[in-house]
Structure 1
Amino acid sequence: MDAMADPFGAYRPRLIRLAYRMLGSMSEAEDIVQEAYIRWHGTDRAAIREPGAFLSRMVTRLCLDHLKSARVRRETYIGSWLPEPVVESALDPDGEDDLSLTLMMALERLSPLERAAFLLHDVFGMDFEQVATTLDRDPAACRQLAARARKHVRDARPRFTVSSDEGRRITDAFFTASRTGDLATLQNLLAENVVAYSDGGGIRKAFLNPLLGIRRVAGFFAGAARKWDSDIPSVVYRGLIDGLPGVITRESDGELQSLALQIENGLVTAIYIVRNPEKLRHVAASAGLSEH
Structure 2
Amino acid sequence: MNERSEPTTGTAEPLAGGDRVDCGMDSATEAFVAHRNLLFTVAYEMLGSAADAEDVLQETWLRWMKVDLGQVRDRRAYLVRITTRQSLDRLRAMRRRKEAYFGSWLPEPLLTAPDVAQDIELAESVSMALMLVLETLSPTERAVFVLREVFDVGYDEIAAAVGKNPAAVRQIAHRARRHVDARRPREVVSPSETQAALESFRRAVDTRDLQGLLDVLAPEVVLIADGGGLRQAAPRPITGADKVARFIVGGLGKAEVAPTGEFTVVNGNPALLVRVDGEIDGVMAIGVQDARITGLYYIRNPEKLTRVESETPLTLR
**TM-score, normalised on structure 1?**
0.90
Q: Of 245, 251, 263, which residue of structure 2 is paired with 1:218?
A: 245
Amino acid at match of 1:271: L
Q: 1:118 to 1:16 in 2, by over 3 A?
A: same
Deviation at 1:119, TM superposition (A): 1.2
Deviation at 1:35, TM superposition (A): 1.6
207-216 vs 239-248, which moves further: 239-248
The residue number in structure 1 matching 2:12 is none
The residue number in structure 2 matching 1:86 is 110
1-structure distance, mates of 2:287, 2:100 = 27
2-structure distance, mates of 1:269, 1:3 = 49
The residue number in structure 2 matching 1:108 is 135
2-structure distance, mates of 1:205, 1:268 = 23
The residue number in structure 1 matching 2:101 is 77
Q: Of 205, 220, 224, which residue of structure 2 is paired with 1:178?
A: 205
2-structure distance, mates of 1:264, 1:105 = 16
Structure 2 residues not aligned, in runs of 5+ = 1-23, 313-317
Aligned 8 A contact 1:179 1:221 in 2 = no
The residue number in structure 2 matching 1:64 is 88
Amino acid at match of 2:253: R
Per-residue CA deviations over 1:172-227 (Å, capped at 9, x if unaligned) read 22123224421010111111100000000000000000000111101101111211
Deviation at 1:157, TM superposition (A): 3.0
Is 1:281 matched up with 2:306? yes
Deviation at 1:278, TM superposition (A): 0.4
Q: 1:3 to 1:248 in 2, by over 3 A?
A: farther
Structure 1 residues not aligned, in runs of 5+ = 288-292
The residue number in structure 1 matching 2:185 is 158
1-structure distance, mates of 2:41, 2:203 = 33
Amino acid at match of 2:143: A
Is 1:11 matched up with 2:35? yes
Aligned 8 A contact 2:111 2:309 in 1 = no
Aligned 8 A contact 1:48 1:54 in 2 = yes
Q: Secondary structure at the match of 1:286?
A: coil
272-281 vs 128-137, which moves further: 128-137
Q: Aligned-residue CA RMSD in angstroms?
A: 2.1
Amino acid at match of 2:290: N
Q: Secondary structure at the match of 2:77?
A: helix
Aligned 8 A contact 1:183 1:219 in 2 = yes
* Equivalenced residues, count: 285
Aligned 8 A contact 2:257 2:277 in 1 = no
Aligned 8 A contact 1:132 1:142 in 2 = yes
Q: Secondary structure at the match of 2:296?
A: strand
2-structure distance, mates of 1:232, 1:250 = 6
40-49 vs 271-280, which moves further: 40-49
Amino acid at match of 1:48: V
Aligned 8 A contact 2:159 2:166 in 1 = yes
Is 1:207 matched up with 2:234? yes
Q: 1:71 to 1:201 in 2, by over 3 A?
A: same
**TM-score, normalised on structure 2?**
0.84
2-structure distance, mates of 1:158, 1:241 = 18
Q: 1:30 to 1:60 in 2, by over 3 A?
A: same
The residue number in structure 1 matching 2:15 is none
Amino acid at match of 1:166: E
Is 1:241 matched up with 2:246? no
Q: Of 173, 194, 199, which residue of structure 2 is paired with 1:167?
A: 194
Aligned 8 A contact 1:36 1:58 in 2 = yes
The residue number in structure 1 matching 2:279 is 254
Per-residue CA deviations over 1:102-136 (Å, capped at 9, x if unaligned) read 11111111000000111112211221111111111
Per-residue CA deviations over 1:50-106 (Å, capped at 9, x if unaligned) read 111111111111111112221111001011100001123399588363312111111
Per-residue CA deviations over 1:232-256 (Å, capped at 9, x if unaligned) read 4252xx2332233211122248333
Q: Give % identity.
A: 38
Is 1:143 matched up with 2:170? yes
2-structure distance, mates of 1:213, 1:12 = 41
